[in-house]
Structure 1
């Protein structure tokens, strides 16, 4: 089996409402969709959601890199040779994980279809039967975030991920308001997205939230401040998760050596796709660190890919892939049984692509062939 052509679509996914985190407000979600076709006519889809604050890539740079470098490199290659393909991409381009993830995911999709098995069967088989879905609360006033949490509880959600990361005292009030509204039995996870900057600010905040009963605190300090994470972990009692600071194998090795976090948030867009994500999961498992598959607010394509990874490994104890629930239009049909998700048993990613909507959302596209 060989790759015959790769089509690249730069799209904007419309959000039901703006998505607000510490460093940006998203009115829509820029994404790159890759459509890979083999010589025997099989089609696989992949996705790249770049973020200059996290992966160092932009929507435009990712498109250009795929068009001019990665796609031409892989024409004529066997999509089943995951290790070789990643070695080729890594030798050709330093970093650029989201761009590589788009290729990686498309290859897994098409290989699953070739073999007639779901992607999770290529990763060791299915371990989890279903995952509860955590609703993500965008940054807002304490009152607004609390009211949204109360509304979502009525829909069946039993856990919330709060986006914070503005001014410390304002964030403390947000967390306290949501906890007071939902009661003690609802799980709350707090994601700072580096917004508290350093360990001093974080420790100040967490001493005020000591009795808030948080499941965990995610990436309070800037991404590369591993020593700051170590200090926060030593001086607070809430479990600590690393996200932006964990991109690839080198980061995971340092995290393990320094014991810088209790948990890790693995994202396909940060590490380069399904194949590298499994390597990180194996490293975490050996170190006794729990894993989460995180979201870059991908469409059904990227979200499904993340779910296949999570469903195949015991070390993944939570997921937060809720992108498709945030879009008013999506290119795929990943199905949620809110507040749970159960993957189907169809070959590949198990997602149908609506070509009409794909074309409608496309701002520009190209096709790469021999």
Structure 2
């Protein structure tokens, strides 16, 4: 089971509605798609979107890292020695987590197909079906409340609400308007995308607690490097705090967990460098009794299928943020992958990622 060929190409799919956070606005989902072919004719798929403001990588840098650095190191290697292959990828370059992730998920797809198991089962097999939240982009309080009501009416029971773009008093008004519009039962998760400072975050969260807005968790309230600030927010509020951009690697997770800087961790394959490293983060968090969310960037169903298989395999992954494919105007997977039924995502039992064919109409020529 040797790696015979690695190919990449670019894709672009418009979003049906702009995706707005404190860090960026996205109207088109761009990605590098990776195709790995083994000498036994097994084909594996992966992808990596450029997310400059979070990971720092562009389409060009991802392409070069895969084709110019990693491919020469692993073509011809046997996936039966997968630890050696993943070690080569991990040590091939500093950073480059998105490129590593795209290659990693394609290789895991091949390995699980060889084992004749779905990737979720190969990794542990904990859940067959999971439920995603849906993201409310940052806009005016009135527009966000209207969007939130629409998503609840569409059957979603958990909303991930973007804040942190402007005045913190406006963020409180946004959440007040949303809670009033959707009622008391739906879950509200806030994501500040590093948009607050520690003391103002505490002030805002306490205000929302006093107003009884019933926030399930707050994700990454402060800058990624500000672990002390993250710990300050965690220590001075009752609402659970989740680290996202503060945790790329297992070493980052170790620092956050040892210091008690956050109550939960959001694992993303594009930050971690793929499933191999993401498993280490999840297992380390489990040792500390910490639950995780698995989320994504603005990815197509290729990347989300890989992330969903990983997430479904781990018992301490209890929350899922996989709405990105629902925001796109098309599906790059022409057959197979995970299946969406409203908020529910069925993992499926086909070997590997279960991807049958890829629609090349989205390829950028």
Q: Which residue of 1 aligns with 2:345?
A: 341
Query: In 2, Cα distance between the equivalents of 1:309 and 1:80?
Result: 20
Distance in 2 (alpha carbons) for counterparts of 1:322 and 1:201: 29
Partner of 1:61: 61
Tell me how far apart the structure 1 counterparts of residues 92 and 344 of structure 2 sit (CA, whole Å): 40
1:82 and 1:275 in contact (8 A); partners too = no
- TM value normalised by structure 2: 0.95
Residue pair 1:263, 1:290 contacting (<8 A) in 2 also: yes
Map of 1:200 onto structure 2: 199
What is the rounded CA distance, in whole Å, between the counterparts of 2:153 and 2:56 in structure 1? 38
CA separation in 1, counterparts of 2:268 and 2:215? 22
Q: Any conservation in 2 of the 1:82–1:104 contact (CA below 8 Å)?
A: no
RMSD: 1.3
TM-score by length of 1: 0.94
Which consecutive aligned stretches of 4+ in structure 1 deviate over 4 angstroms post-superposition?
none
Distance in 1, matches of 2:104 and 2:185, equals 39
Q: CA deviation at 1:216?
A: 0.1
Matches within 5 A, 1:1-370: 1-124=1-124, 126-167=125-166, 168-196=168-196, 198-210=197-209, 211-332=212-333, 333=336, 334-354=338-358, 357-358=359-360, 360-363=361-364
**Contact 1:300-1:351 at 8 Å conserved across structures:** no
Distance 2:62 2:81 in 1: 23
Equivalent pair of 2:44/2:110 in contact (CA under 8 Å): yes
Secondary structure at the aligned position of 2:165 is classed as coil
Deviation track 1:289-315 (CA, whole Å, cap 9, x = no partner) reads 001111112111110111111111110
- Match of 1:368? none
**Cα shift at 1:254:** 0.5
Instruction: Label 1:238 to 1:114 Cα distance change in 2 as closer, same or farther (>3 A).
Output: same
**More RCO (CA 8 Å, sep 6+):** 1
1:80 deviates by: 3.9
CA contact (8 A) 1:12 1:363 kept: yes
Q: How far does residue 82 in structure 1 lie from its aligned partner after superposition? A: 3.1
Deviation at 1:336, TM superposition (A): 0.4
Structure 2 gap segments, 5+ residues each: none
Deviations 1:43-81 (A, max 9, x none): 100111232222221222111111211122211012343
How many correspondences in the alignment? 359
Mapped partners of 1:147, 1:82: distance in 2: 48
Shift of 1:362: 2.0
